[in-house]
Amino acid sequence: MINPLALKSKPECGVRCPELLLSAPLPPRLCLLHKVNTKTPLSHFQCDELCDMKSGESMMILRTFLWTVFLHLVFTTAEDVKDISASSVLQRQKREWQWNMLIVYEEKPPQDPPEVIGKLKNTFFNESKGRNVEFRLLGEGAGDIFTVNEFGDVLVMKKLDREKISSYKLTAQIINTISGQELEEQSEFTIKVQDINDHTPEFSEPYAGSVDERARPGTVVMTVRATDKDDPSSPNGMVTYTLLNATNVFNINRRTGEITAKNNNLDRESQSEYKVLVQVSDTPGSTGGLSASTVMTITINDLNDNEATFSKQRYSFVVDEDKPAGFIIGKLDIQDRDEKQNKRPMFTIEHSYHHVFDVEHNDNYDGVLILKKELDYETKASYTFTVNIKEYVVQPPDNSNAWTSATIHINVKDVEEPPVFSQKVYNFTVKEEQKNIIVGSVSARDMDKTNHKIRYSIKDPNSPVNINSETGQLTLKKALDREVQKEYMFLVMAEEESNKKLKSYVTVRINVLDINDNDPELPKDLELHICENDESGTVIGLISAFDLDENPGRFHFSLIGKSSNFSLHDNQNNTASIILTHGGFRAESSERKFLEVEITDGGTPPRKKVAQVPLQECECGSERQYKRCKAPTMSSLGMSAIIAILLCIVTILVIVILFVLRKRYQKEAIVALGKPSGEIHEQLVAYDEEGGGEMDTNVYDVSILTSARSDGRLCPDPPPAMYAVVKKPSACKGDMAVMIEVKKDEADHDRDGIPYDTLHIYGYEGSESLAGSLSSLESASSFGSDLDYDFLSDWGPRFRTLAQIYGSDVNTSY
């Protein structure tokens, strides 16, 4: 049996190649693949290369190649078998196809004439010796890519690509060229496309990896993957990986592409990132292979391997003494080469000052010095203490000789401070209903060395107390009522008597203590019902009481007087039961009743009150369910309500009587002051120029023009009217004087009324009258009357017209 793995130590190329590959001598044309003889060099693997390859590196490649050669030898040996003549065999042999493996190389351009890649052989075709018979191809690529000539040679017409189609399955036929009849059973065969190295390896994706600093040797960082489209079973499709840089810190597996740490010297603080160049190549061991390269990014992950240290050994700060607790004094700069997420410094302060100062870290993990307690320059002017820093890191740390402690020096700066009260909040208690008592006092002092005098004041006007501005003593303004307000809260201001007038405030809280100053009460909606069918001993209801005082104690109940129908039982639990003594009530005939009960609270001293419990008679069903109750009547009113109603009625009657009397008195005064209408007469006498005037006299009553009209209105200052209003005369003046003044005043201020003595102008009738003018007024002024009417001008605008008529320069042309 042929052993394809039997190799000599150092074979020679050329004709002795078969001795390298096979243990038995074979014809030279069987040494290599189809159409490769001993005079033709190997196309992809030279003999020298095969001989020089290291066994551990190329064992798999050699095995693949040798098995391919072995299979090729098996299939091609049939060509050397001679045809057995039919005459030499007594029994007729079956006609059959005889095949060789057909192989064609990819990417080979078409030739002229076309390249023969194989030959179709059939015993029937050989027997017929080509007379009217021919081969035909069917299947994938038949007639287009592959054709067959009359001798059975298979020809390739186009360039092939193994990466697209690696093999073609075809069917061979023998056809009668005249009849077109198929003369032999069809047979299938395969044409294999032989791969060549025409594709460069490709990386599947961009790669980025990471590894912790101080990682142990052999720690996997990442794995690189590359692919080659060539035949993976051949060296063309096999890839190997190589690092082109960073070989001092990383290794790579040539076959798997796995990158590992080479040693434990990785330090992020020295170099946080590496750019690694990786090359991938095909045809291992060959210098003519194709290759590609890419850059891989490897990040070094940080570990907490650096201790946090102070940037200097001494820090100094100045702090005003009035700064409150929580004030940030300053920052302590820290040095830590680790990344932020790995910084974990812890600070401690010297024990003597840890209650005054504190150190925390900020967002950058620097130290922050914080004031925990207010400072006082007068008490202590400076502080000096030590702050230590500690951090748990990977051992041993990179910086073992750093400063892990620092000295802090703080100077306290003196400032003028406002007054400081002796307490943060003042709480006082006062019993209600007390007046003008001292509640307590507040006290503040100047903490500075100047020690200014302090003044106290309260700005809240609703404060229940007054304060002594010098002593701070608080005194009640008025009695307090706990039931109105239980607690009072206000601010007291303390102010220095200095140029700056510094102020401070404090809260004062006064709690009002309760005393027993409220009577017990019954609920307002309390009402008990009596059923017609209630029997003696029936409990018709429970009564309870309440008290506005804070702690009224237990209530006691008792009946006022003796009642023949009801009794009361004190239940000793702030309730009492009303019990029916006799039954037989009737809702139609009985009126609403009230039961007087005395309630006593448990305060000190106790307070009592008599209250009325209303009782309502009703018709009831079973279990005292009310059906119909008699409506309450007026007889149910108490004595106090009746007295109040009577007082209201009497008050209304008195008011009505006084009003009537006043109106009546006003009318009598008006009648007494005015003249009787019968006495007010005036004659207008017209005298005939020829005499006999007295016989022709008309009496004209002008009392209407001068009569006083009474106005019944009660308002003291009536509005202007057409007629004068007579007012009630004053008791301190005479009647006539009052009337004249009233009349004069009304006439002066009445701008709308027409005077009674206004001159009436009548329509002119011409000058043909024999009687002439009948005006006695004109006569009085025309014939030299001795009366002087100039004083009318002094009576005001209402008498101006009259003064013009009776004046000496009156116009007499009317």
The count of other CB atoms within 10 Å of the CB of residue 517 is: 15
Give domain status of residue 125, yes or no.
Answer: yes
Per DSSP, 342 falls in state G
How big is the CA angle at 683 (ends 678 and 684), to the nearest 5 degrees? 150
Residues 186 and 224 in one domain: no
Q: How confident is the model at residue 786, as a pLDDT?
A: 58
Over the stretch 627-661, which tens digit does the pLDDT of each residue have?
677 655 544 556 777 888 999 999 999 999 998 88
Residues 587 and 626 in one domain: yes
- Domain end call among 446, 478, 513: 513
Q: How confident is the model at residue 595, as a pLDDT?
A: 85
Q: What is the dihedral of CA 165, 167, 168, 173, to 10 degrees?
A: 170
Q: How confident is the model at residue 708, as a pLDDT?
A: 45
d(CA 149, CA 570): 137
Residues 210 and 190 in one domain: no
pLDDT band at 436 (very low <50, low <70, confident <90, very high): confident
Give domain status of residue 88, yes or no.
Answer: no
Pairwise pLDDT comparison (702 vs 224), residue with the higher score: 224
The CA distances from residue 143 to 137, 157, 162, 171, in Å, are 7, 9, 19, 12
Residues 781 and 751 in one domain: yes
- Domain end call among 513, 543, 573: 513
Give domain status of residue 744, yes or no.
Answer: yes
CATH of the domain at 438: 2.60.40.60
Q: How confident is the model at residue 482, as a pLDDT?
A: 87
Residues 498 and 542 in one domain: no
Among the ranges given (28-37, 201-210, 220-229, 716-725), the one the predictor scored with the smallest mean pLDDT: 28-37
Q: Which range has the top average pLDDT, 206-210, 382-386, 601-605, 801-805?
A: 382-386
Pairwise pLDDT comparison (605 vs 673), residue with the higher score: 605
Nearest residue to 173 (alpha-carbon basis) of 162, 157, 161, 185 = 185
Containing structural domain, residue 401: 309-413
Residues 256 and 188 in one domain: no
- Domain end call among 382, 413, 444: 413
Residues 220 and 183 in one domain: no
CA 806 to centroid of chain Cα atoms: 97
| 704, containing H or E segment | helix 703-706
Give domain status of residue 559, yes or no.
Answer: yes
Give domain status of residue 225, yes or no.
Answer: yes
d(CA 436, CA 86): 155
Give domain status of residue 265, yes or no.
Answer: yes
How big is the CA angle at 47 (ends 42 and 48), to the nearest 5 degrees? 130
Q: How confident is the model at residue 629, as a pLDDT?
A: 73
End-to-end CA distance of the chain: 181
d(CA 707, CA 674): 7
Over the stretch 577-593, which tens digit does the pLDDT of each residue have?
988 887 766 655 556 67
Residue 492: exposed, middle, or buried by beta-carbon count in 10 A (0-12, 13-18, 19+)?
A: buried
d(CA 438, CA 474): 6
How big is the CA angle at 661 (ends 657 and 664), to the nearest 5 degrees? 140
d(CA 359, CA 364): 14
For residue 658, give every residue at least 6 positions away whose Cβ sits within 8 Å of its Cβ, in sequence order, or none. none
Domain count along the chain? 7
Main-chain dihedrals φ then ψ at residue 785, nearest 5 degrees = -65, 145
d(CA 336, CA 305): 10
Nearest residue to 590 (alpha-carbon basis) of 625, 566, 616, 614 = 616
Residues 46 and 100 in one domain: no
Residues 796 and 694 in one domain: yes
Q: How confident is the model at residue 696, as a pLDDT?
A: 47
pLDDT band at 681 (very low <50, low <70, confident <90, very high): very low
Q: What percent of the chain has pLDDT over 70?
A: 70
Give domain status of residue 47, yes or no.
Answer: yes
Give domain status of residue 645, yes or no.
Answer: no
Residues 380 and 395 in one domain: yes
Q: How confident is the model at residue 475, as a pLDDT?
A: 94
Over the stretch 341-377, which tens digit does the pLDDT of each residue have?
888 899 999 889 999 999 999 999 999 999 999 998 8
Mean pLDDT across the stretch 537-562?
Answer: 86
The CA distances from residue 320 to 329, 416, 737, in Å, are 10, 10, 90
pTM over 0.85? The answer is: no
Residues 402 and 460 in one domain: no
Over the stretch 713-759, which tens digit does the pLDDT of each residue have?
444 555 554 444 555 545 555 678 888 888 888 877 776 666 655 66
Helix pair angle (735-749, 639-673), 10° resolution:
90
pLDDT band at 62 (very low <50, low <70, confident <90, very high): low
Over the stretch 105-142, which tens digit does the pLDDT of each residue have?
888 898 888 988 888 888 777 777 667 888 889 988 88
Residues 693 and 791 in one domain: yes
Nearest residue to 202 (alpha-carbon basis) of 278, 259, 108 = 278
Q: Which range has the top average pLDDT, 63-67, 93-97, 536-540?
A: 536-540
| 800, containing H or E segment | helix 800-806
